[in-house]
Amino acid sequence: MEYVTKSGVDVPKVGVGTWQMETEVAYESVSMALEEGYRHVDTAQLYENERGVGRAIAESDVDRSELFLTTKVNPQNRSVDDIVESARKSVARLDVEQVDLLLIHWPHPLADLPTVIDGLDECVRQDLTRFIGVSNFGVDRLKRAQQLTDTGIFTNQVLFHPWWPQRELLSYCQQEDVILTGYSPLANGGAIDDELLADIGTAYGKSGPQVAIRWATQHENVMTIPMSTSRSHLADNIDIFDFKLTRAEHDQITRPSLLQTGMSMVRGQLGV
């Protein structure tokens, strides 16, 4: 495993995501992931699977202190009190004393950003989370969040894959020491049958999806959270640190495409 270090904490560059997983499926996926060596788990209130994730953690042989656990606040919680209460309920569902990282899931158009950030900061003050962050924020809104917080923005969790490389945002995060957490690194399955990724992987004895995840992790200050309900795929997704893409390969893989990104988003929404 490789790590991103921030605020004195080493966070595994690859975690397990649980989007679109029902409670029992999330329980099984996280249980297998922990057995396979994952120590970074991501969930959210809107996924409605926190109890399953928490049960997997409680029943595993992995000590809680070894895990980096993230959840996200439903953006419908727009007051300080609502954000704090929702975080308290998340901690209870996850059956932990606190989470490591608490994010606002995305910017709500009717939410007051200073209030939202104050709510997240209050969760730190009340020991419900160690760190806070945001998700699906562009550069301008991220800058504003940084100005508003008393405790600092640990990460911005956003879509990040070879067809959506987020160059402007990535550069800003690297300059500001904000971790970029990339979700959907396999472009909702788009990386599975990509010929270029497969061809590059052949030279290393790796699959196309493994190359896509390695592409993500080779960026400075980036971690990623691929999802899978298959033990073999979970194992493959962290078996990527025994090879390194060349600069030329990395540049080849980076292919910004609105079409590919749009198709992947449709696949994600349809669950296919």
Catalytic residues: 47
The amino acid present at 70, given as its one-letter code, is T
State which H helix or E strand residue 133 sits in. strand 129-135
**CA-to-CA distance for 191 and 187, rounded, in angstroms?**
6
**CA-to-CA distance for 170 and 147, rounded, in angstroms?**
18
- Phi/psi at 158 (nearest 5 deg)? -145, 165
Tokens standing for residue 189: 């399955």
Can you tell me whether residue 231 is helix, strand or coil? Answer: helix
Close Cβ partners of 136 (under 8 Å, ≥ 6 residues apart)? 105, 106, 107, 157, 158, 159
Residue for token pair 């997704």: 237
The amino acid present at 4, given as its one-letter code, is V
